[in-house]
Each structure stands twice: as C-alpha cells, then as structure tokens.
C-alpha cells in the first residue's frame, strides 16, 4: 500500500484562526495528506498563530521548540498572525520550514516543500476563503465573510497581520450557507474582524450594493431551521438599518458582541476607536429597546414602523464585550469610568484583556506604564461587576422556556448547549427514551440561573 503523507494542525487564537485551520485541513487533504493522530507522528505540522497579545505569542515560541524536539523530521509550517513578522522570523529562524501567510495558501505547492520564505502573493487577501473547509462540527459552522481590518486601533496588530479589509462576494457566502443548511447544519456563525463593515458590489444580485444588513436578510431568506450568529460588530458601524434587520429576522440570534475596549473618552480617543462612552451607552439602549423589549416607544420600531407583533414573548438580547485594562497612561480615574460603564451597561459576558504592547502598532511607542499588578487588580474589579450583572440578567430566564442548541454531554452524563443569546445551559432530561440530541434544537424550562450559565429541564425537541 502506498504511504500517505500525514498532517496535524495546532490552532491558537480567535474564531477566524479556527476557521482558517479548517481551510488548511481541507486543502492538505485535497493534496493527498491525511490527518495524523498527533503532532509527533505527522509529516507536516501546521501552527496557526495568534499575535494579538504577548502571551499568545510566547505560547508559539514554546510550542515550536516542543514540536521540533518531539518530531525533528516533521516539516513545520507557520501561518496566522505571526507569519509575516520579521522579528519573529529571525527569532525562530530555521526551526520553521515554511512561513505561510494564510492568504497565500493557494500558491503553496505541497510537492516541493522548500524553504520558500516569501511566496509571492498572487491572490486577494480573501480568495483562500473560497476553499471548501473541513468543518470541525457537524451542526455549527464558522463562515468567514471577509478578512483584514481598516480601523487601526492604536493597540491592535490585526491590520498589519491580516492586511486591509476585503470581503467575499455575497453569492459565494450564500452558496456556502445553502450547502451547510442542506446538510442539516443548525448554526451559521458569520465571522470577520468587523462583520458590520461588510460591503460589496454585486453584478448578479438585483441590489447592486450589499452591506451587512442586506447580507443578513439574504441569508435569512434561505429556507430551513437554523440560527445565524455573527461576530464581531464594531460599535461605530452598528447602523439603525442593521438593528432593524436583527429585530425583524427570526433566524438572527439576539446576541450582539460589541467590544467597548474602554469606558473613558480620552482613552477611547487614544485608542482610535471612533466613538465616545456616551455613543456606546446610547447604542446599547437602542439595541435593547428594539430587540429585547419590542418597546412601543422604541425609536427604531417607530422610525421603521415595525409592528410590535410579539408583546407577550420573552425576548431577551445579550450584549457581550471586549475590554482592555491598563492601556498606556490609563489613570485610576479613567479606569473608574470603565467601572461605571460596566455597572450601567450590565454586560452578559466580557472578555477582559490586560494591555500588551504589540510591535508596529501606534500604542507600542507609548510607555506601558500600568504595572502588571494594577492591570490584574483592574481585571478583577471588572470581573466582580460582570458576575453581578450577568447573574442579574440570567435571573430573568427563571421559569421561562427557551430554545437551546444541544452541543454535548458531560462526563457526568448531563446534556448541555446554549441559547440563541449564547447562555451556556445544562439540560436535565427525565425522559429515558431520549437518546441522542446533539446538534438538535430543544425546548428547555429554566430552573436555575448562575452568573455564567443556566440550568433547565428538557421539555421537547423542536426541529
Ligand atoms: N475587531 C474587534 C474590535 O473591534 O474590537 C476585536 C478584534 S481583536 C483581534 C480581539 C480583542 O483582543 C480585542 O477586542 C481586544 O480587546 C484584544 N486586544 C487586541 N489588541 C490587544 C493588545 N495589544 N493588548 C491587549 N488586548 C488586545
Ligand atoms: Fe483590531 Fe480595531 Fe480592527 Fe478590531 S477594529 S481588529 S481592535 S484594529
């Protein structure tokens, strides 16, 4: 029997990196490689890297050393955020066999794995997204709608690592979603650095310019029982038109991940975020008024004359965020404004990052003058508030019956999943006839609320 070459992929970082790895896997398999059991056995090891924070970068240095020690004959390919950083290339030197910025994967010739240190880009930054991925899940799929970022937030490496914004055509995205839905997928997660700045010109559609709101409507129009989730939304691009679309499309999950990054106007300005604390607070109120309460006095409902057709329905929305503590020069007084914002907005979840200087970014030139101990203290203060507000929000679910997408069963035998608002939910099933509901929508009556999760009793399978 002919020996088949093998590969193994290690992924660090965000949803976009996970999705990129799914495309790399598919591409390698198309070129005759098969998946190895571990990195120690593989002919080819792909490391999809993240450089958003120093800790993620340090993990890569550790992993490269370990892989080379355990599998000296394996060829190591480094892709992701760090693949174009000259200082990283110099530091890792010959330990890496091929540096492969993800957008150049289509140029990669697997038969001649040479030290092609700088393959010439012949493709657009998002052409590789046309590769049909090897999805990791059988019911939930990441569908990237674009790549890159134009915003140049002062702390962020993404515009340098992934380049300027480029978007996939609506036709290509729709074709991928149609195929997934036909195969029974229940959740489509649209991803990009800023999904809501999506815009393309279309030759094929009647609508010549397609923005994110339009794209959501087109995807919602695909028949089938599935949820549409999306991340990340930039507050400055959250238009009234988009809020109206989210309100009107039942398939669109009422979960908005809206990174605030800081709650102080001076810090926001230094970060180059393009909005003020007041803008952000007003935006969250507008979203909640329009989606959650379906309030007859809602600006958006009135502006667009939407009928409040479901006044009795329990219709929660969840607002989650990213925030950075200890940005250069952030004083205690400025941080107190972030604390105030957290108390006012009452987030459902927040990803709190300690500032970490990134080479090449504007903030890298500023002194990283908030000590690590103080960053940790600020992080803990925000976590305390978050726990309180998330619990308060979750208590509203008590006694209500909500839809949950079942994603697994724990070692203790308890089923679990999440709601459309992205609340992790443990599911008790007393009906012994229920055998396998992974990847299905079920109705669950909520009996317990914790800060970061819910618990409920299975009532029935819905779709
Ligand atoms: N596009 C999204 C937005 O507008 O907020 C965020 C994408 S970024 C890759 C993911 C998160 O990493 C950011 O929201 C931010 O909180 C965090 N992050 C980015 N650069 C950072 C840095 N230098 N130090 C600490 N956290 C950082
Ligand atoms: Fe980074 Fe800002 Fe772009 Fe988000 S919007 S990816 S934080 S530069």
Following DSSP, what letter does each residue of 344-375 receive, concatenated?
HH--SEEEEEE----TTSGGGGS---S-HHHH
Is 50 exceeded by the pLDDT of residue 114?
no
Answer whether residue 198 shows pLDDT above 50. yes
- 3-class SS of residue 14: coil
pLDDT of residue 51: 93
In the prediction, which pLDDT does 84 show?
Answer: 85
Backbone angles phi, psi at 192, to 5 degrees: -170, 165
Say what the pLDDT of residue 139 is. 97
Measured distance CA(330)–CA(368) in Å, rounded: 10
pLDDT for the residue numbered 293? 57
| pLDDT surpasses 60 at 357 | yes
* Helix (H), strand (E), coil (C) string for 142-180: EEECEECCCCCCCCCCHHHHHCCCEECCHHHHHHHHHHH
Predicted local distance difference test score (pLDDT) of residue 305: 56
Whose C-alpha lies nearest to ligand 1, atom 7?
193
Between the CA of 193 and the centroid of ligand 2 the distance, in Å, is 7
pLDDT-derived band of residue 245, with 50, 70 and 90 as boundaries? very high
* Ligand 1 atom with minimal separation from the 193 CA: 1
Any ligand 1 atom below 6 A from CB of 13: no
Ligand 2 proximity of 193 Cβ (cutoff 6 Å): yes
Residue 193 Cβ inside 6 Å of ligand 1? The answer reads: yes
Kindly indicate the confidence band of residue 128, based on its pLDDT and cuts at 50, 70 and 90.
confident
Nearest CA to ligand 1 atom 20: 156
Residue 272 Cβ inside 6 Å of ligand 1? The answer reads no
Check whether 287 has a pLDDT greater than 70: yes
Q: What pLDDT, on the 0 to 100 scale, is given for residue 102?
A: 87
Residue nearest to atom 14 of ligand 1 (CA): 322
- Predicted confidence band at 46 (pLDDT cuts at 50, 70, 90)? very high
Ligand minimally distant from the alpha carbon of residue 353: 1
β-partners of residue 456 are 427, 446
Question: What pLDDT shows up at residue 72?
Answer: 92
Instruction: Compute the average pLDDT of residues 83-88.
Output: 89
Task: Provide mean pLDDT across the span 200-207.
Answer: 79
Residue 414's SS3 state is coil
Atom of ligand 1 nearest to the CA of 324: 16
Q: Check if CATH label 3.30.750.210 holds for domain 137-253.
A: yes
Ligand 2 mutation pick, 156, 191, 257, 271, max ligand atoms within 8 A of CB: 156
Please state the atom number of ligand 2 nearest to the C-alpha of residue 193.
6
Ranking 47-56, 58-67, 359-368, 431-440 by mean pLDDT, the lowest is 431-440
Question: Strand 441-450 vs strand 415-419: parallel, antiparallel, or unpaired?
Answer: unpaired
CA distance 196 to 235: 9
Distance in Å, CA 352 to ligand 1 centroid = 10
pLDDT recorded at residue 387: 98
Q: Average of pLDDT values for 363-367? A: 97
Asked if 415 and 371 touch (Cβ cutoff 8 Å), the reply is no
| Res. 124: pLDDT tops 80 | no
pLDDT for 401 beyond 90: yes
Contact 352, 414 (CB under 8 A): no
Would 137-253 and 254-397 be classified into the same CATH topology? Answer: yes
Q: Does domain 254-397 have CATH number 3.60.15.10?
A: no
Ligand 1 centroid vs 158 CA: distance in angstroms?
8
Is 6-115 a CATH 3.40.50.2300 domain? Answer: yes
d(CA 209, CA 350): 34
pLDDT of residue 115: 46
- Lowest mean per-residue pLDDT among 3-7, 104-108, 370-374: 104-108
Mean residue pLDDT of the chain comes to 90
- Mean predicted confidence (pLDDT) in 28-49: 93
pLDDT band at 111 (very low <50, low <70, confident <90, very high): very low
pLDDT beyond 90 at 133:
yes
Q: Is 154 in the pocket of ligand 1 (CB under 6 A)?
A: no
CA of 198 to the centre of ligand 1 (A): 19
Task: Determine which residue's CA is closest to atom 11 belonging to ligand 1.
Answer: 322
**Ligand 2 near 358 CB (within 6 A):** no
From 150, 156, 319, 328, mutation site for ligand 1 pocket: most ligand atoms within 8 A of C-beta: 156
Give the domain ranges of the chain. 6-115, 137-253, 254-397, 398-461
153 lines ligand 2 (CB under 6 A): yes
Taking residues 12-27, report their average pLDDT: 94
Ligand nearest the Cα of residue 322 is: 1
Closest-lying ligand to the alpha carbon of 326? Answer: 1
Question: Candidates 153, 197, 324: which one to mutate for ligand 1, based on the most atoms within 8 Å of Cβ?
Answer: 324
Q: In whole angstroms, what is the distance from residue 112 CA to residue 121 CA?
A: 17
| pLDDT tier at 298, thresholds 50, 70, 90 | low
**pLDDT higher at 441 or 290:** 441
Strands (E), 50-186: 75-80, 98-99, 140-144, 146-147, 166-167
Which ligand 2 atom sits closest to the C-alpha of 272?
2
Residue nearest to atom 1 of ligand 1 (CA): 193
Q: What CATH class is the domain 398-461? A: mainly beta
Q: Enter the DSSP assignment of 289.
A: I
pLDDT band at 214 (very low <50, low <70, confident <90, very high): very high
Question: 22 near 136, Cβ under 8 Å?
Answer: yes
Q: Is 149 in the pocket of ligand 2 (CB under 6 A)?
A: yes
How far is Cα 6 from Cα 71, in angstroms, rounded to an integer?
A: 13
Q: Which of 95-99, 169-173, 363-367 has the lowest mean pLDDT?
A: 95-99
CA 223–ligand 2 middle distance (angstroms): 33
Q: Answer whether 52 contacts ligand 1 (Cβ < 6 A).
A: yes
């Amino acid at each position: 029997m002919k020996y088949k070459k093998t590969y193994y992929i290690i992924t660090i970082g965000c949803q976009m990196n996970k999705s990129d790895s799914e495309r790399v896997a598919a591409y390698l398999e198309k070129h005759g490689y098969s998946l190895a059991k571990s990195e120690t056995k593989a002919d080819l090891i792909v490391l999809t890297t993240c450089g958003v924070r120093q800790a993620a970068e340090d993990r890569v240095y550790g992993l490269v050393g370990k892989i080379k020690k355990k599998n000296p004959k394996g060829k190591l390919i480094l892709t992701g955020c760090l693949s174009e950083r000259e200082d990283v290339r110099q530091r890792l030197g010959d330990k890496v066999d091929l540096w492969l910025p993800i957008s150049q994967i289509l140029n990669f010739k697997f038969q001649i794995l040479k030290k092609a240190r700088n393959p010439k880009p012949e493709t657009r930054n998002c052409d590789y997204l046309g590769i049909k991925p090897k999805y990791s899940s059988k019911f939930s799929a990441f569908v990237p709608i674009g790549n890159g970022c134009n915003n140049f937030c002062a702390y962020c490496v993404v515009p340098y690592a992934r380049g300027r914004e480029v978007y996939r055509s609506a036709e290509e995205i729709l074709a991928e979603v149609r195929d997934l839905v036909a195969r029974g997928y229940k959740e489509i997660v649209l991803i990009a650095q800023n999904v809501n700045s999506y815009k393309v010109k279309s030759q094929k559609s009647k609508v010549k310019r397609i923005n994110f709101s339009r794209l959501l409507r087109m995807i919602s129009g695909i028949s089938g029982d599935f949820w549409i989730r999306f991340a990340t939304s930039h507050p400055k691009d959250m238009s009234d038109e988009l809020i109206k679309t989210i309100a009107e499309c039942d398939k669109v999950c009422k979960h908005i991940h809206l990174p605030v990054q800081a709650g102080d106007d001076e810090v926001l300005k230094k970060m180059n975020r393009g909005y003020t604390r007041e803008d952000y607070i007003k935006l969250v109120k507008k979203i909640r008024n329009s989606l959650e309460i379906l309030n007859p006095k809602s600006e958006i409902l009135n502006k667009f004359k939407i009928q409040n057709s479901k006044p009795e329905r329990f219709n929660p929305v969840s607002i989650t965020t990213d925030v950075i503590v200890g940005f250069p020069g952030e004083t205690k007084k400025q941080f107190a404004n972030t604390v105030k914002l957290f108390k006012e907005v009452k987030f459902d979840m927040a990803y709190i990052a300690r500032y970490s200087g990134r080479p090449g970014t504007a903030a890298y030139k500023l002194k990283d003058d908030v000590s690590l101990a103080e960053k940790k203290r600020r992080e803990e203060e925000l976590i305390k508030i978050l726990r309180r507000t998330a619990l308060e929000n979750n208590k509203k679910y008590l006694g209500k019956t909500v839809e949950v997408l079942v994603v697994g069963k724990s070692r203790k035998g308890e089923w679990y999943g999440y709601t459309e608002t992205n609340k992790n939910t443990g599911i008790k099933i007393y009906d012994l006839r229920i055998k396998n509901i992974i990847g299905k929508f079920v109705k669950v009556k909520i009996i317990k609320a914790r800060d970061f999760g819910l618990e409920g009793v299975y009532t029935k399978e819905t779709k």
